[in-house]
Amino acid sequence: MRKIVVVDYLKDWDVPLEDVEVIEAQSYLTDTVYTDIRNARIFNLCRSYKYQSAGYYVSLLAEARGHKSIPSVTTMQDLKSPTIVRAITVEINELIQKSLASLRSKSFTLSIYFGQNVAQKYEKLCKQLHDLFQAPLLRAQFVFKDEWVLQSISPIPVTEIPEHHWRYVKSFAKAYFARHRFSGARITRKTYDLAILIDPDEKEPPSNKKAIQNFMDEADSQGFYVELITKDDYRRLPEFDALFIRETTAVNHHTYKFARKAFTDGLAVIDDPVSILRCTNKVYLAELLAKAKVPTPKTMIIHKDNKDAVEAELGLPCVLKKPDSSFSQGVVKAKDRESLQQELNLMLADSELIIGQEFLPTDYDWRIGVLDKQPLYACKYFMAKGHWQIYNWEGKKQDTAGDVETIPFEDVPFSVLHTALKAANLIGNGLYGVDVKEIDGKAYIIEVNDNPSIEAGCEDKILKKNLYASIIKSIKRRIDNHKNIRTNE
């Protein structure tokens, strides 16, 4: 497997390593030579993993391209949350106490370079932390409060490695990159029961109150104890065996924290954290769909170096999308050259990369619901009144969304159904809503949603209660699979 170290600037990493190439982040993000590599492991040594930074996109696009990334985007998100850090490290508490027992201070910083430390006595602790949080360079901050507590763990920018540590870093790096396997630690599960995460104050939730009640009734009939929870119930997650998220998801949001903690604790989760990461970022989706040759409107990943080529590439009008847009928010239509430049400047000020697509007008979008890699429902979502999208957040309240028509599968064009399944199955085996445009008999994927709308009176018009039953049965199977895995370990 090809090994590639990615840095912001080549001067950041001048350690010669056998069979390892070093490139700059901008090259990996924009040079098509790296798009078509089949087997590659990407070691991300960028200075920052901040959301939507170049370092973040290196790992995100690596996953979209089928490359193995260290750290993964999931690890990046874990490192940002002290709560997730403590939940993940609870199993090594005894090792933490034993390793730090001789210290007399009330705080301690442990630098972890490729799974090792300059002091050999911390070798076991460094290895365990590195296995739990797979990143090349880590800084763990401990504080003493009755016992030693891991307060935070964060990446170390290569530019912040002390000069007197570099000889160790070089030695550790050579040993690290000579390895053939890079596997993480397993995390065990804890409990059983169903929690449905909602936001009672959300104006346009993915499921209306009647649908939520249908889910609860169906779960009850299948032998579940089911409880509605909110963001205030984060610490209660270990009480449950499964988490079903019925609140609009985002990466920098408590819904992702809930999904990730539930996954870490071994709960069955819909939406799972990997699906949230993959679906909520349009840059990842664009790269993933292009790699798999799934038809989409003509698409380009826009950055500061190619923004002047957008008009020539996509024409006008064209559609611009923020990477984490959802429910038509953060999506704009640039009608002319002036509005194009204005919107590009605004979006690129927030994110290193954004998405541009050719404008394909249609009267409606297809929405294909997919569960466990099989079609669940099919709808036509008509455009909001007087608008080019299915949602118009600036219109009158009664005109916010267009009409919905639920369609039997036998009346859905084969190309629409086939293309939607192909796109969704690239993401995973969860619950997805795939938006498709059909033009002249050809289907084009607009996006894949990890948290699709399921509302009483809309998506359930054909299957009725069987729609809710199918989703609850899927959750039950996931719980049983977790139990079987535990039994066989």
Chain centroid, CA 431 distance in Å: 14
Reading the block at residue 396, the tokens are 């009158």
Written as one string, the DSSP assignment of 326-395 is: ETTEEEEEE-SHHHHHHHHHHHHTT-S-EEEEE----SEEEEEEEETTEEEEEEEEEPPTTSSSSB-TTS
Element (H, E) at 93: helix 93-100
- pTM for this structure? 0.76
Whole-angstrom distance, CA of residue 401 vs CA of residue 245: 22
Cα dihedral value 317, 320, 326, 328, nearest 10: -20
Whole-angstrom distance, CA of residue 408 vs CA of residue 406: 7
Nearest residue to 58 via CA among 68, 44, 39: 44
Nearest residue to 259 via CA among 236, 239, 282, 275: 275
Written as one string, the DSSP assignment of 399-420 is: GSB--EEE--GGGS-HHHHHHH
Tell me whether strands 268-270 and 318-326 are parallel, antiparallel or unpaired. unpaired
Nearest residue to 52 via CA among 310, 441, 347, 461: 347
pLDDT of residue 187: 44
Whole-angstrom distance, CA of residue 151 vs CA of residue 140: 8
pLDDT of residue 188: 42
Residue 261 φ/ψ, nearest 5 degrees: -65, -40
Whole-angstrom distance, CA of residue 280 vs CA of residue 274: 10
Q: Which residue type, as a one-letter code, is found at position 393?
A: W
Element (H, E) at 123: helix 123-132
Contacts 24+ apart (CB under 8 A), 74-78: 74/260, 74/273, 74/274, 74/277, 75/133, 75/134, 75/135, 76/49, 77/251, 77/256, 77/260, 77/273, 77/277, 78/133, 78/260
Tens of pLDDT along the chain (489 residues)? 789 999 999 999 999 998 899 999 999 999 989 988 888 999 999 999 999 999 999 999 999 998 989 999 999 999 988 888 888 888 899 999 999 999 999 999 999 999 999 999 999 999 999 989 999 999 999 999 999 999 999 999 999 999 999 999 999 999 999 865 555 544 443 336 899 999 999 988 999 999 999 999 999 999 898 999 999 888 888 888 999 999 999 998 999 999 999 998 889 999 999 999 999 888 899 999 999 999 999 999 999 999 999 999 999 999 999 887 655 567 899 999 999 999 999 999 989 999 999 999 999 999 999 999 999 999 999 987 766 676 655 555 555 677 899 999 999 999 999 999 999 999 999 999 999 999 999 999 999 999 999 999 999 999 999 999 999 999 999 998 876 665 555
CA-angle at 310, arms to 307 and 313, nearest 5°: 140
Give the 3-state secondary structure of residue 303.
Answer: coil
